[in-house]
Amino acid sequence: MINAPRGTQDILSAQSKLWSLIEKTAEKVFAQAGFNEIRTPIFEDTNLFLRAVGEASDIVNKEMYTFLDKSERSLTLRPEGTAGVVRAFIENHLEHTGKPIKLWYRGPMFRYERPQTGRYRQFHQIGLEAIGSASPHIDLEVINSGMQLLDSLKLTNLTLYINSLGNKNSRTNYINALQQFLFAIKDKVCDDCKRRMEVNPLRCLDCKVEHDQNLYKQAPKIHEFYDEESKNIFEIIKSGLEKLSIKYHVDENLVRGLDYYDHCVFEIKCDSDVLGAQSTVLGGGRYDKLIEDLGGNPNPAVGFALGLERLALLIGENQLAEEKKTFIISDDSSEALLLAKKLRNELDLNVEFDYENSKFKKQLEKALKRNFDQVIFFLESERQAGTFGLKKLKSNQEFKELDFKRLCELLLE
C-alpha cells in the first residue's frame, strides 16, 4: 500500500466544502476591493526564488523542493506566491494596464518543513498583491481586505501584529547596530542564531529559543533608527488602522521569514488550541524593491498570504450551512434521472437517486443512512397516476398523491 507523501493530505468532501466556502468568500471580498484573480505556474525557475525570497532565508536554505527536469533546468515547486506574481507582472507588462495592479491568487505551495498540526509540506495559500503604489493607504486597503475576509468567515480571537522595517537606509543603520550587539553575545546564543547574525541578523529577533529571546530584550530597537520618511509612513498606517477600528499591536520583533520586505510588515495570529504552535494565519507586508530586483521597472508593492489549512482548522466543519438533500426512490433509474434533472434545474436542489434499481427497502435505508432530508416516492404506481409521494425524514411528515407544483412547494419548505 502506497501512502500520501509525508506532509501532504487528501482533502475529503467535508473539508472540500469548507475550502470552497473560504475561497468563495475570498473571491467576493477581494472583488469588492477591486482585486482580480491571477493563476501562475506551480513550478518556476529556481533562480526566481533565490533572488526573491533571499538566499539567506530558511525557505531557500532548507525548504525548497528543487529538481532538474529532463533538459537539466533547475526548477522549484513554488514555496510561496509573491515571487511568481511579480514575475508574471514583469513578463506580461502588466504595469501598462493601469497602476496599481491589484491581484489575488490561491493554490498549493511547497516547503520541506517538519510537518505538524497546521504545518504541511504541501499547503495552500490565498494571497493578494497590490503593485505600483507606495501609498500607505494601499497598505491599509490590503490589511483591511485580510481582516474583512477573516471577519466574513466569523473568525474571532484574532490579533493583528504590525511592525515597520523602515526604508533601506534606516534598516541598514539598524542592522549594523544590531549586528554589533549580536556579535558581542555570539557565544551565548543558539547555533542557528550564530549563523543568522552573519547572513541575516534581523532573523535572530524571531528566534524561538527562550534563552536567546531573553538576551535579545536588550537589543537596539528598530524604531530608534527610522528616518523621517519611515516614521511618517508608519504613523499614517497606525492612525489609518485606528480610523478603521482595526485593533493592532506593534511587535518590534516581527521581521518575517522572507527577505523582500521593507516598511510595514504584519501578521494575524489566532489564539486557539486547534492550531497548536502554528498560530499565524496570515502574513505579509510591503516589498518596494523586489520588482526592480527581479528585473522590472521600479514598482513599490504590498501584499499578504494566508494559510487555507489553518483557516479551515479554525472554522471547523460544523460552521458549514447544511445543504438540503433530496433522494428519489424509484423502480426505474432512467425515470429517476429525468426527474432529478428537472428538479435540479428548476429548483436548484441537490437531488440524488439509486443507480442499481435496488429494492424499495434498500433505497430507503440508503437515504436514511446518508442523512438525506427528504425522499420522493416515484414508483410505477405514482408515474401512472402522474403524482408523487414525499417524506420529510427529519420530521417524519408524509405526503401522498401530490401534483408536480405542490411537490415543488413542499420540497423547498
Can you give the binding site for ligand HAM, defined by CB under 6 A? Answer: 80-82, 111, 113, 118-120, 123, 125, 127, 129, 257-258, 280-285, 287, 303-307, 309-310
Residue 266 CB, nearest distance to ligand HAM (Å)? Answer: 9
Closest separation in Å from C-beta 49 to ligand HAM: 11
Cross-strand pairs, 124: 108
- Minimum distance, C-beta of residue 47 to ligand HAM, in the bound complex (Å): 17
Identity of the residue, 300 or 389, whose beta carbon is nearer to ligand HAM in the bound complex: 300
CB of 128 to ligand HAM, least distance (A): 8
Tell me which amino acid residue 15 is. Answer: Q
Q: Which is nearer to ligand HAM, 100 or 389 (CB)?
A: 100
What is the nearest approach in angstroms of ligand HAM to the Cβ of residue 412? Answer: 40
Closer residue to ligand HAM in complex, CB, 155/282? 282
The secondary structure of the chain, three-state, reads CCCCCCCCCCCCHHHHHHHHHHHHHHHHHHHHCCCEECCCCCEEEHHHHHHHHCCCCHHHHHHCEEEECCCCCEEEECCCCHHHHHHHHHHCCHHHHCCCEEEEEEEEEECCCCCECCECCEEEEEEEEEECCCCHHHHHHHHHHHHHHHHHCCCCCEEEEEEECCCHHHHHHHHHHHHHHHHHCHHHCCHHHHHHHHHCHHHHHHCCCHHHHHHHCCCCCHHHHCCHHHHHHHHHHHHHHHHCCCCEEECCCCCCCCCCCEEEEEEEEECCHHHCCCCEEEEEEECCCHHHHCCCCCCCEEEEEEEHHHHHHHHCHHHCCCCCEEEEEECCHHHHHHHHHHHHHHHCCEEEECCCCCCHHHHHHHHHHCCCCEEEEECHHHHHHCCEEEEECCCCEEEEEECHHHHHHHHHC
- Nearer residue to ligand HAM within complex by CB, 281 or 364: 281
Kindly tell me which of 52 and 376 has the beta carbon lying closer to ligand HAM. 52
Which is closer to ligand HAM, CB of 303 or CB of 389? 303
Query: Least CB distance from residue 127 to ligand HAM, whole Å?
Result: 5
C-beta closer to ligand HAM: residue 81 or 100: 81
CB-nearer residue toward ligand HAM: 165 or 390 = 165
| Euclidean distance between CA atoms 380 and 23, whole angstroms | 44
User: In the complex, what is the shortest distance from the CB of residue 280 to ligand HAM, in angstroms, rounded to a whole number?
Assistant: 4
For ligand HAM, the nearest residue by Cβ is 307
CB of 11 to ligand HAM, least distance (A): 13
Which residue, 167 or 330, has its beta carbon nearer to ligand HAM?
Answer: 167
| Shortest reach from residue 259's CB to ligand HAM, in Å | 11
